């Protein structure tokens, strides 16, 4: 039997403790037994509390779901308005080289709008983008607008219908900031295609020096052959000058 109990994996001490409990219960069935504790009221109270907590939890869950649906509806309404405005932005004429493109996709399961700046001369160039993302993380119903010039995106929390009234001002400010950035990109690209003022000034100075050198060379070629002689040595001496006979000199005729 010992081998059988050992093979069955049972602990003899646990079996002994269970046997003692059974024996004690049998012995306590007499008049000296400890009275039973009635826990029926405690069980009923516990059951009631559990039901109330479940009901409150379901109610809170329903209210939370209702609030989440409201936030998502506001986010969708806000994104529709933003997309309509951005469609007007991408129609701006940026010239022959640059143009805007509006994209709509998902980011980690949340909707996203992106305005890209495209360069026809450098198609592979990735310029900083204007990005609008909507998400309901932390139950805040956020719309975030990311700009190249800002380290942190602009954020609007849409918890109530009135929160949508703040959207136009924030969007207008962000769009203007992005257009200023794009303007700098376009002007820098145009300046890179043309020689700068420093180059032109250096070029003009070089041409002026070359012109002066050319004039000096021409002056050397046409120099006076007497330039090397002393001018006073070439003049006639006073002794060689004779007096001019005046036609009114009557004494000479006599």
Report if pTM > 0.75: no
**Per-residue model confidence as pLDDT tens digits over 48-86:** 888 888 877 777 777 888 899 999 999 999 999 999 999
Q: Which of 159, 182, 154, 158 is nearest to 169 (CA)?
A: 154
Predicted local distance difference test score (pLDDT) of residue 223:
41
State which residues form the domain around 97. Answer: 70-193
User: Is 83 a domain residue?
Assistant: yes
Residue 167: pLDDT band by 50, 70, 90 thresholds?
Answer: very high
User: Is 238 a domain residue?
Assistant: no
Burial of 63 (0-12, 13-18, 19+ CB in 10 A): exposed
Cβ 130 vs Cβ 71: under 8 Å: no
Predicted local distance difference test score (pLDDT) of residue 151:
87
Task: Say how many CA atoms lie within 13 Å of 111 toward its Cβ.
Answer: 16
Cβ 90 vs Cβ 100: under 8 Å: yes
What residues contact 161, with CB distance under 8 A and at least 6 apart? 74
Domains contained in the chain, number: 1
Q: What is the maximum span of the chain, computed from C-alpha positions, in angstroms?
A: 202
pLDDT > 70? residue 207: no
Predicted local distance difference test score (pLDDT) of residue 246:
44
Sign of the CA dihedral 187, 112, 171, 151? negative
Question: In this structure, what token pair is assigned to residue 117?
Answer: 């700046």
User: Is 49 a domain residue?
Assistant: no
Predicted local distance difference test score (pLDDT) of residue 241:
41
Predicted local distance difference test score (pLDDT) of residue 14:
58
Cβ 156 vs Cβ 169: under 8 Å: no
C-alpha 148/C-alpha 130 separation (Å) is 7
User: Is 78 a domain residue?
Assistant: yes
Cβ 141 vs Cβ 72: under 8 Å: yes
More confident residue, 9 or 15: 15
Q: Which of 13, 217, 182, 39 is nearest to 98 (CA)?
A: 182
User: Is 216 a domain residue?
Assistant: no
User: Is 98 a domain residue?
Assistant: yes
Predicted local distance difference test score (pLDDT) of residue 253:
45
Predicted local distance difference test score (pLDDT) of residue 162:
94
Average pLDDT over the chain reads 76
């Amino acid at each position: 039997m010992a081998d059988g109990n050992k093979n069955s994996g049972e602990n003899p001490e646990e079996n002994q403790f269970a046997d003692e409990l059974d024996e004690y219960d049998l012995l306590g069935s007499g008049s000296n037994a400890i009275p039973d504790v009635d826990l029926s009221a405690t069980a009923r109270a516990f059951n009631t509390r559990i039901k109330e907590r479940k009901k409150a939890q379901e109610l809170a869950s329903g209210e939370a779901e209702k609030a989440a649906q409201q936030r998502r509806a506001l986010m969708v309404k806000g994104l529709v308005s933003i997309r309509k405005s951005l469609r007007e932005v991408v129609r701006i004429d940026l010239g022959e080289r640059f143009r805007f493109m509006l994209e709509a996709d998902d980011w980690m399961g949340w909707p996203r709008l992106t305005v890209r700046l495209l360069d026809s001369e450098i198609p592979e160039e990735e310029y900083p983008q204007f990005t609008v993302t909507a998400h309901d993380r932390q139950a805040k119903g956020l719309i975030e607008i990311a700009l190249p010039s800002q380290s942190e995106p602009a954020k609007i929390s849409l918890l109530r219908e009135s929160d949508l009234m703040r959207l136009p001002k924030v969007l207008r400010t962000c769009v203007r900031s992005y257009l200023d950035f794009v303007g700098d990109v376009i002007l820098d690209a145009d300046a890179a295609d043309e020689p700068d003022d420093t180059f032109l000034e250096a070029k003009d100075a070089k041409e002026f020096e070359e012109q002066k050198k050319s004039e000096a060379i021409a002056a050397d070629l046409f120099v006076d052959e007497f330039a090397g002689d002393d001018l006073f040595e070439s003049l006639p001496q006073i002794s060689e000058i004779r007096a001019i006979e005046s036609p009114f000199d009557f004494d000479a005729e006599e």
